[in-house]
Every structure is written in C-alpha cells, then in structure tokens.
Amino acid sequence: MRSPIYLTGTGQTRFGEHWDMSIKDLMEEAIDSAIESAQCTALDIDMVVVANMLGEVASDQAHLGAMAASLLPHHPPALRAEAACASGSVALHTACALLESGKAETVLVIGVEKMTDISPAKIAAGLMGAADAEKDAPSGLTFPGIFGLIASRYMHEFNLTREQLNLVSARHHENAMSNPFAQFRKEIPAEAISMSPKVADPLCMLDCSPISDGAAAVILSTKKENPIRIAASQLATDTLSITDRPTITSFAATKDAMAAALEEAGINQSDIDHLELHDCFSIAALISLEDMGFANPGEGISLYEKKGKMTINQSGGLKACGHPVAATGIKQIIDISKQMKRSGRTYGLAHNFGGAAATCGVHILSHA
Amino acid sequence: MAEQQRLAVSTFSLMRNTPPQIHRAQKDLKLRMQEGTIVSFTTVHHVPEGFPTGPRVIGLIELEDGSKVTGQLITDNRQPTTIGMKVLPKMRLSRINNQGLRTYDVSYEIPVQQTVKNEFPGYVLALTGPSGVGKTTVSILLSTKVGKYVERVPILTTREPKEGDEDEYTHVSSEEFLELKNSGKLATFTSIPSRNEKRLYGYKIKDIEAIWKQKKIPVIITEMNLLQGLASHYGRRSILSFGLMPPGKSKRQMLSALLHRLRERGRDTEQQIEDRLKNAEEDLKFFKERRELFDDLIVNDNLDTVVGHLGGLVLERMKA
C-alpha cells in the first residue's frame, strides 16, 4: 500500500432468506450500520463502490452504483464491480486503487446480493454465468457440477475419502454457532454431510454453500485512522473455463494472488492468525488451503482433522454463514476485523474467488 | 411434430439458444469429434432447464489433440465408469429450441468392452418396446404362425410370479440369479428398480443356444438395457432388432394408447400402471436416441400386419 488505508466502519445484514427485503433494503441496512460504526459521517464518503453479480437476473435491476449513492444524503459518485462470487474483493481492490491514487479519501464499499426472489433453477442458471457460456454450459453442467468434476478428480489423485471430506462442512457449521449473522447456526455431525441428497457426485447438498440474501459494507479511509489497516489487496485471474487449464485440483489464481499479497504485506503465510477462505463447496476449502501454502497438495484436510494456531472460517464460512455471492468478499473483511479485535492478534487474511477461481482476490488485514 | 414433443421443448432464457448462437456453436463441433480419455466425471442431479430431466453424467474429457472439453457421458451400466477410461465421440440431438431449431451436440460414449467375435452365432429376433405395446402378444402369434422356425426365450427374473405371467418367465431367487450371472451363464442381464425391491432380469445362454440347435430363431422380449447387452454379447449383426411403438401421432396419443391397453390387460394396479407409463416415456426416447440399435421401428396398430411382416422376415432368413 502506498499510503495506509484504514478500515474505519463495518456493517452487515444477517445472511439468509430476507423475504421482506429488496436489494435496496438490504443495502440500506448494511450501509446504515457501517456508517454508525465509523469514525466519520455519511458526508465524509467521497465515493461508493458496489459489488453485485445477479441484480439483472434476480431483481431486474442494473445500475446499482446510483442506487447505493441515492441512499446517502449527498449522492457521491458511485460505480459497480462484478466478478461473479469474487465481486466483493474486486470492489475492495477498486476502492483501494481509488484511495491510493488520491481520487478519494473515504470510500464506502458495499456488496449486496438478493438471490431468493427467483426459482432455484433460474438462480442456478444465473450463477452458471460465472463459467464459460460457450465451453462449459452447453454440456448441461451446473456450478455444483463443475466442482463435482473437481472433487471427483481430487479424490482420485489424492485418495481423499468421502468421510474425510465430511469434516469440512461439519467444522464450518460448528463455527457458525457463535456468529449472530450466520444463515445456519446449527451444528451438523460429520456423518450427516454425506447422507444429505446427492447434488453432483461426489458432492452432496451439505457440501454446497446455500442461496442467500444479504449485504455487507465497509468504509475504507486514508484519513480516518483506525488500528485495523488493509495491509495488502491483490487480484489474480485464470481461464474462465476449467477445460483450458492444465490441472483442476489446484487454482493458479489463488497461488498468484496469495504470493503477491504476502509480498505486498511483507509477511509469510505462517504469520497469518485468522483466515477466512472461499468454501463455496467443501472441496474448494481444501484446494484453497493448499494453493495458499498452508498445506501440501493433497493434505489440506489435515487442517480440518485437527485445529491449528490459525483459525479457519471462524464465521462459518460460505457454507454455514451463507453466500450472497457479491457480499461474501466484504463480509470476510468484517469477520477478520472482528476476530483480530477479539484475539488481539496481528494478521488476518480473506481469500475470495469467483467461478472456479477464474478471479481470485486476497486481502490481508493488520491490527496495530 | 410428434418427434419434437418427445424431446422436452421448454423455454430457458439463459441457455445459448438463439439461431446465431447455435450457428456459432456448430462451427467447432467438428473439433470435438475425437476420441478421448476421462479426466473426471460427475453426475449432475439437478440439470439446467431445457435439458432432459433426470440425472445427467458429465465428463471432463481430454481429447487426442490434448485439448479438453466437457460433454455428456453415455455410460455403460454393466461396467463402472472410472477416471482414465477411453471414450468415443457421438453426435446426439441435444435440444430443440422454441422455433423448432434442432441443436446437436457431441457426447462421449464409453465403448462396451468386448472381445471381437469373428464367428456369427445365428440370428436372434429381439422385440423392444414399452410395456403394454404388445410384445408378448406379437411373440405368441409369431410362434403360432411360424412356430416351425421360431421359439420364445424365457425371461429369467427374480420377481414374484403373478397371475397372467403364462410361460414367458422363469422365476429364480436373487441368489440363484447372481450365481448364474457370476458364473457367466447369462447372455445379458439388467436390474430394474421397482417400488419395493430391485428386480433382476436376464436370459440364459443355454436357453438361446438350445433353440439354435433346433435350427430355430430365438425370439426375445427385451427392453433397452437388455437389448444393448444382447447386441454386445452376440454382436449387433446377430440381432434382428425391432422396436414396437404404440399407435398415435404424438407422444401423448401413444402414451394414452398404452394406458388403455394396460388397463384392459388388468394385470397391474393403477400405481403400477403409472410407473409403467413413466418408463414408457423413457423407452420412446430411447428409440430416437439409439436408433442404430433397431433394424426397424414398427407401429403396432394392426397385429396381423406386424406379425405378417415379422413372420415374412423370419422365413426369408431361414431360407437364406
């Protein structure tokens, strides 16, 4: 970071099914609570960056930048960022660039997704927009299908058993018990995971993150000092289609973004105290741990078999906390900041990807 | 029109379905017509709108030229699918859009593992069709009409005997069936799940060979899995394969003809009839998708014509 960027305000809605709230209502609740928690007023906000993927598909609503700005008294300039499930981290990265360039001094970043208004089939088709429409979709693949292919190959290469994979979702559900904003605050025993209905072999329903509504907002500033700072903000991309990659059991974008983020923050991965990673499907959690260097290839599961010093998805992750896609990347920042404030430890990392990690954002937060 | 109705025509807004999109997609179909190897595969249980309902097996395939594609996998239910298997490309009708434009796509088939048979064992007459279409009636009439030349092969089954079964089934216990299967005494077999149990069906090699020894053509009443098994066991050219279709111009009319026949027959409860009609839809789809497994598709609207036609064919083969 060329100049220090402070996390001055955070706010979010509960993640889950909000039948009585529109996309605008969700944004309003998150923005209000972010401003309330910040050391500044609404009028200090110079720009707004909105993260959203499915506004057009689910709410017939585009132009969300102006919609978010209209919730503020002075209608600041606003724009929208989209990168499927990585929309949140792309918006954060954009905000950091605006702050570093001096174009703005205080930026509101809000991620919002309204997913429960339309049928599951329609939302699944919308989410499939994160893959390559010409190469992946015509075979009849769905997103769970893509991760089914990945999981099936991973289990073949590394002899991971179905029983071991159960530990991932079970841990995330256990963690969500203490998160008041989580969609599912319910413990689920490991053996129940593989007993749930099959979605895309070998993945079952409880391996998949849910359909959720929700919004999360943060206020970043170069002027309003706060003990919590953004130590690194990095993005990386990979081919849109998994058919164009040499391997599907490792994601190059995660590796690239991670390496760049560690360099920017000037730390090693062993310095990370709290991790929020992108577990859109249970198998993605294992692959991500390996790609970020927390485990050797094929050994990601060891971090779920026993707990280590670093916490993983203390919020419940995407599985149990919920996954309103564009809000997730921003929610991770909020959770990391809470975890650092509570533990007093120094570094937290948020790992957020879109599609099958065709875009990956890694943000490192530091606590003074 | 009947053809179109047999494939689900549905409105799906998010699939690439407009004529220019389909046109562009057709251009690289040729590139995907290559043999390949399965890199990974999955069964998608909730398929996107616009595709035939029911689970769909999809593979990530590495083609001969090193490129990778995703495509529907046509699996062989007699051997488990595994990563690393070789697959062959196969052009299939994928869907029909609202304007009636037919979209073909490349799927990948796991070739049935078989030793190449040089000898020709003899002909088998196979009748395939949905329940209630009249396979048994046709076979009975055929054996009265050209009984000198044909004989029916009993179907080996583990299901409970029922009234009206006549002599078309040989009933065995599941243990006996598996014993026969494991000792390689069956030409082909399949399991058909029903509401309460899994039922096994098959044919004994001994029964078929006994008929050949009498210089007769075995007549086999079959269904889609058994037919594929027979074709791989004896070779496709040994099978005189006929699909029997109910009369009717559309799928709805055909299914309604079946419904009437099943009710008239009075062997099944309404619940069972409902199940049979569901399977019948699959059978009708199979005729279309695997047309190469049939020498001819015959509409069973007049028994005399059908039996006359098949009888004539048998006489022709016997004389040849």
User: For residue A116, what is the DSSP state?
Assistant: T
**Angle formed at CA A240 by CA A302 and CA A350, multiple of 5 degrees:** 45
Domains of chain B (ranges, CATH numbers): 14-109 (2.40.50), 124-319 (3.40.50.300)
Query: Would you say B87 and B36 are in contact if contact means Cβ atoms under 8 Å apart?
Result: yes
Nearest to B44 among A57, A138, A142 (CB): A142
φ/ψ of B136, rounded to 5, equals: -65, -45
Q: Return the amino acid letter for B130.
A: P
Size of interface A-B (CB pairs under 8 A): 108
Strand, coil or helix: what is A215?
strand
C-alpha span between B125 and B144 (Å, rounded): 15
Task: Scan for tokens 């419940």, then name that residue.
Answer: A316
C-alpha span between B42 and B44 (Å, rounded): 6
Instruction: Tell whether omega for the bond before B52 is within 30 degrees of 0, i.e. cis.
Output: no
Domains of chain A (ranges, CATH numbers): 5-119+212-221 (3.40.47.10)
DSSP per residue over B167-202, as a string?
TSEEE--HHHHHHHHHTT-EEEEEEEE-SSSEEEEE
Q: Which residues of A touch B43 (CB under 8 A)?
A: 148, 198, 200-201
- pLDDT under 50 in chain B at which residues? 1-14
Task: Specify the pLDDT at position B9.
Answer: 42
Tell me the sheet residues that pair with B124. Answer: B239
Inter-chain residue contact B105 with A122, CB threshold 8 Å: no
Query: Would you say B48 and A121 are in contact if contact means Cβ atoms under 8 Å apart?
Result: yes
Query: Would you say A29 and A90 are in contact if contact means Cβ atoms under 8 Å apart?
Result: no
Torsion (CA) B59, B65, B67, B72 in degrees, nearest 10: -20
B199: exposed, middle or buried (Cβ count in 10 Å: 0-12, 13-18, 19+)? middle
Task: Specify the pLDDT at position B15.
Answer: 55
C-alpha span between B228 and B111 (Å, rounded): 12
Q: Which ipTM score applies to this complex?
A: 0.94
Task: Specify the pLDDT at position A353.
Answer: 97
Task: Specify the pLDDT at position A221.
Answer: 97
Beta strand B86-96 with B169-171 is unpaired
**Mutation target among A139, A154, A242 for the B interface, most CBs of B within 10 A:** A139
Task: Specify the pLDDT at position B165.
Answer: 67
Work out the minimum CA distance from A126 to partner chain B, whole angstroms: 7
- pLDDT under 50 in chain A at which residues? none
Task: Specify the pLDDT at position A144.
Answer: 97
pLDDT tens figures, A69-102? 999 999 999 999 999 999 999 999 999 999 999 9
Inter-chain residue contact A149 with B70, CB threshold 8 Å: yes
φ/ψ of B292, rounded to 5, equals: -65, -15
Task: Scan for tokens 């963690």, then name that residue.
Answer: A175
Read off the pTM: 0.73
